[in-house]
Amino acid sequence: MSTKAAPQIPDDARDWVGSDLILRDQIISTVVEVLKRHGGVPMDTPALEPGSPPTEGDDGKDGRLALNLDNEGGFLQSDLTAPFARWLAMNPYINHMKRYQIGKTYRRERGKHGKHKRKLMVKEGYQCQFDIAGKYDAMIPEAEILRIVSEVCHALALDVTIRVNHARILNGILTVAGVPDGKIREVGLAVGKLDECWERWGNMVRKEIVRKHGMDEEVADRIRHYVLRKGGVKDMIELLEHDSELVGNDDVRAGLREMELLTTYLRVLGVDNVSFDFSLARHGLEHCYSGLTYDVALRLPCPAEPPANNRPRKKSKPIAGSVATGGRHDNLAQGCKRDAIPSASVSFDINHMFDLLSAARSTETTTGSNVLRNEVDVYIMAFGGDSGNGNRTGFSRGFLLERMAIARQLWDAGIRAEYWPKAELGSPFSQVKNAVKRAVKSGARLLVILGREEHNHNDSVRLQILGRTVEEKRRDKRNHRWLVPRQNVVEEVKKMLLQMDRPQAEGAGKPGKSGRG
């Protein structure tokens, strides 16, 4: 006897519906508004890229994480850089461009938690990437991108720190520490696994550098001595300049010159929540960063050592992880039948931003009524229409036809409105109670109320604002209810919605220097 399999979705994927999708769309709209303000051109590309995955994969294993579909003659995009590089190669007349792209990405990764720990599975991501491609003066595109990051995080009220490093400075540090040229990249990737605190992960990384990559313990200790350092950009530049061994390295000197330029540009652009972190090593899946790299994360306390008894703490952990990452590629589209183009980019992790903002609104219930919330502005309700028949009383049963007619008026005017598609019967108390519940569930801000009293008063309706406090109602003698003729309902609804929006617009703050919300 066969049994039906329970419905499920792939590991590390999710369905989006109702209030979750509304929040995600709000995040995307906020990000896109900032990117448009900076001259970004929208772009979309196929999820399936032709050919084989680019050859530079994470951990030094070529294409290990790209999702290759051999039978289909291509691979699913694992980030939004490879499609842009391909597009530039197909459009050789484009030498300068600001572009942004929003899309899903797919890659194979090993799980890190719970039942999926160390299991190789497909991870579906959702990214918004912004690129400034072309040859410009050094560090100007990177400075603007960090300004963009600051504006986005301010608009979303995310208190973040922007960690930066320079690939050439890190390479110089590893060289001075004794890492041979052929091992620079893989040792750099190991350094990039460091957490906020060496005390938690440092010993593990040290073992990897020694055992996996064959470095002497003395070399690992010298690496540790340097990469533990982080602080303000200006302070860390001074620290490097006073280290005679490091400033004797060509890569370190070149990186320092660019970091000094960056300091000047960030000051002019008003970005000051930046930390210079020597341990930051970001290598794109397909492309290694060759200049400035950056990582944007919430300000979190340093993770403490686990308890002596190894029992997990009951206290909930903060949501860690990067809100955005990026850096500079000097050789984008190289080998694609055109000259290489430098590009500075940043990729916003939409799913992680959603997780952070969703946790911030965790005081709301997660019942079906909240999950299925939509985005209407007006809810049309009725009560006291049990005996209506359209002949003797002049209105339909439950005011159903009247509600439909008002909905049509509002829809024709471009107003988001909803009504319950049934004749609302029963006692007036139960009708009002149920209608208000539905209105709150829909997210409506304004009620249009039909009833016998309103109908008998020159075919009028009542407008009522939802969500006002008792004190606000006391201050308004009309108790936030307005009686208006039905023929004027569209005009009055527009006027009230505009008045409700005005305080929010007047109270909206301007981006601050630090980008904090």
Long-range CB contacts (within 8 A, 24+) of 153-156: 153/296, 153/323, 153/515, 153/516, 153/517, 154/511, 154/512, 154/514, 154/515, 154/516, 154/517, 155/30, 155/33, 155/34, 155/511, 155/517, 156/27, 156/30, 156/353, 156/357, 156/517
| Chain segment 471-495, per-residue pLDDT in tens | 555 555 555 568 888 888 999 999 9
Angstrom distance (rounded) from CA 440 to CA 427? 20
Other Cβ atoms within 10 Å of 509 Cβ, number: 9
Structure tokens at 98: 């600001």
Tokens 């590893």 — which residue?
Answer: 174
Flag whether pLDDT at 412 surpasses 80. yes
Flag whether pLDDT at 261 surpasses 60. yes
Flag whether pLDDT at 179 surpasses 60. yes
Tokens 């952070």 — which residue?
Answer: 356
Could you say which DSSP state residue 40 is in?
A: P
Tokens 């997780």 — which residue?
Answer: 355
Residue with the bigger pLDDT between 415 and 451: it is 415
Angstrom distance (rounded) from CA 61 to CA 494? 59
Tokens 């090993």 — which residue?
Answer: 110
- CA nearest to 403, candidates 426, 380, 424: 380
Tally of helices (H runs) and strands (E runs) in the chain: 17, 17
| Chain segment 68-126, per-residue pLDDT in tens | 666 666 777 778 888 898 888 888 888 899 999 999 888 776 655 555 555 666 778 89
CB 147 within 8 A of CB 269: yes
Q: For the whole model, what pTM was predicted?
A: 0.76
Question: What share of the chain has pLDDT > 70, as a percent?
Answer: 71
Flag whether pLDDT at 198 surpasses 60. no
CA separation (Å) from 494 to 301, 454, 489, 490? Answer: 47, 20, 9, 6
pLDDT recorded at residue 193: 73
Angstrom distance (rounded) from CA 354 to CA 220? 38
Counting Cβ atoms within 10 Å, is residue 438 exposed (0-12), middle (13-18) or buried (19+)?
middle
- CA nearest to 279, candidates 235, 241, 229, 236: 229
The per-residue b/e assignment along 102-126, b for 16 or more CB within 10 angstroms, e otherwise, is bbebbbebeeeeeeeeeeeeebbbb
Annotated binding-site ranges for L-histidine:
79-81, 107, 127, 131, 282
Structure tokens at 378: 């007006």
CB 347 within 8 A of CB 101: no
Domains of the chain with bracketed CATH: 18-302+320-359 (3.30.930.10), 374-505 (3.40.50.800)
Angstrom distance (rounded) from CA 438 to CA 435? 5
Flag whether pLDDT at 427 surpasses 80. no
Winning range, highest mean pLDDT, from 140-149, 177-186, 229-238: 140-149
Angstrom distance (rounded) from CA 517 to CA 158? 6
Q: What are the start-end ranges of the H helices in 80-180?
A: 81-90, 140-155, 167-177
Say which residues have a Cβ less than 8 Å from residue 162's Cβ, sequence separation at least 6.
146, 149, 150, 271, 273, 274, 275, 294, 295, 296, 515
CA separation (Å) from 100 to 31, 174, 326, 504? Answer: 10, 34, 13, 28
pLDDT recorded at residue 30: 93
Q: What is the mean pLDDT of the chain?
A: 77
Question: Phi, psi at residue 92, to the nearest 5°?
Answer: -65, -15
